[in-house]
Amino acid sequence: MPRQCGHLPSPQGLGQSLHLARSVAHLLSKAPQAWHPQLMQSLTSGFFSLPFRAIEKLSGHQFENYSFKISYIPDEEVSSPPPPQRSRRGGRASRERGPSPGGSSQPKQLDFPLRILVPTQFVGAIIGKEGLTIKNLTKQTQSKVDIHRKENAGAAEKPITIHASPEGCSEACRMILDIMQKEADETKSAEEVPLKILAHNSLVGRLIGKEGRNLKKIEQDTGTKITISPLQDLTIYNPERTITVKGSIEACSNAEVEIMKKLREAYENDIVAVNQQANLIPGLNLSALGIFSTGLSMLPSAAGARGAAAAASYNPFALPAQEVVNLFIPTQAVGAIIGKKGQHIKQLARFAGASIKIAPAEGPDASERMVIITGPPEAQFKAQGRIFGKLKEENFFNPKEEVKLEAHIKVPSSAAGRVIGKGGKTVNELQNLTSAEVIVPRDQTPDENEEVVVKIIGHFFASQTAQRKIREIVQQVKHQEQKHVQGAPSLQRSK
């Protein structure tokens, strides 16, 4: 019988794999700040990209009669806070870094990086010989510039993330545009190099504005032509859209300032809303999952420790420890979810901390199978997200097609009316808010537990938000019923 071990002198190759798994896991823990699409991809599909795949591969690995059991521990839980960064000229950086170790109440500045796409052939020029060009750029703009060279091997474009003040981001962007245009002129590879800004989809609508007014104004004021990649290009792996700005370097730089001003304003409004209304998703750890209910957005975690604590602690209605969701998948996808000898579904259940079972087919010609997922909110998020992601990975949906699945949750029959609302008002608002289709079949006969089914159809973010909002409505109803029951004896005594 193979023995399980936590620490074992391993051969060099396996040791490197473990180191890689932890390094990538560390990157994932920093992902909301860096906003790397590939790492965000792992978060949006339920935290299961490179690090967790590495962990899955290593867990159960047999070596010399030992069976490895690998766990992921975020670096924040095992390491002490980094020392404050020294800065020149009066400690500007330390002032922006927020609370000091002594307990100052100075608020932490929101980190909203500028992310741009650059043609791969210009990356070398941006870095410069021995890195001198990029060092000079970061020094002049007081910024941190991450060039993600190793992402998307062979891709025509590479993302660059710039962390700095708004002015620093704009200055760094201008310098990068200058470098690329100079390189293009010297190599005659392009007449005009456009500026491509990456922005999370949840923020883009507010950049565009009603009937496109905001975008049109920026175009008119800066003399640029601005286009935005279509929604069809979005997947749960890539929640960012590309904003392409064409014009002179001066015009593109001016447009970047206005575009980022709108995006930053939208982002800051969302962060305020998260802090003020952390109870919008009761029972769900916002700081861990990074999902904000009212915008379907995966936001960088910039709420700070105070906001995270509020999200974790403020829970007016205690949710049941276990929730049950029935998720319907194409029949032909069942094998992919189960995996060889059931390995994939077992690993998924361990990873998510949920019970996952596939119900028998209702008939020989059934086009769908029901996956029964039982677990707390975080487990539901991870398990469902991984299933959505797996269906996309295995090409059960068209590459440009959003994965949309039907989920069923049960609610007390006494709460069904509240989910629908007067004249269907609540369910209509719920659909507008979440982008999911929500169906509460009328004339349902409650089951033995006096519960009825609510159907939710949509992509991952939409489905998750709808589920959480419906659970919130149910908890409100239960809370009111409890108050009514508790208040009844006192009313009788007062008479």
- Domains of the chain and CATH, by start: 3-77 (no CATH), 109-274 (3.30.310.210), 323-483 (3.30.310.210)
Contact present, 115 and 35 (Cβ < 8 Å) = yes
Region 39-55: what's the mean pLDDT?
41
8 A C-beta contact, residue 184 and residue 193: yes
pLDDT at 287: 42
Per-residue pLDDT tens over the stretch 225-278: 999 998 767 664 577 899 999 999 999 999 999 999 999 998 887 776 555 444
What is the CA 325 to chain-centroid distance, rounded? 21
The separation between CA 186 and the C-alpha centre of its own chain, rounded to angstroms, equals 40
Rounded CA-CA distance 414/152 in Å is 51
CA distances 488 to 238, 287, 317, 390, 477, Å, are: 53, 39, 20, 51, 17
| Helix H or strand E segment including 200 | strand 195-200
Nearest to 384, CA basis, from 408, 411, 360: 408
How confident is the model over 332-337, as a mean pLDDT? 94
CA angle 32, 461, 335 (to 5 degrees): 105
H or E stretch including 411? strand 405-412
C-alpha–C-alpha distance, residues 183 and 133, integer Å: 13
First-to-final CA distance of the chain: 72
Q: In this predicted structure, what is the pLDDT of residue 162? A: 95
In the beta sheet, which residues pair with residue 74? none
Mean pLDDT of 376-380: 87
Q: Please state, in angstroms and rounded to a whole number, the distance separating the CA atoms of residues 366 and 330.
A: 9
Instruction: Give residue 460's pLDDT.
Output: 87
User: What tens digit of pLDDT does each residue of 29-44 get?
Assistant: 443 333 333 333 333 3
Report the pLDDT value the prediction gives residue 42, as an integer from 0 to 100. Answer: 37
CA 328 to chain CA mean position, Å? 23
Mean per-residue pLDDT for 362-374? 94
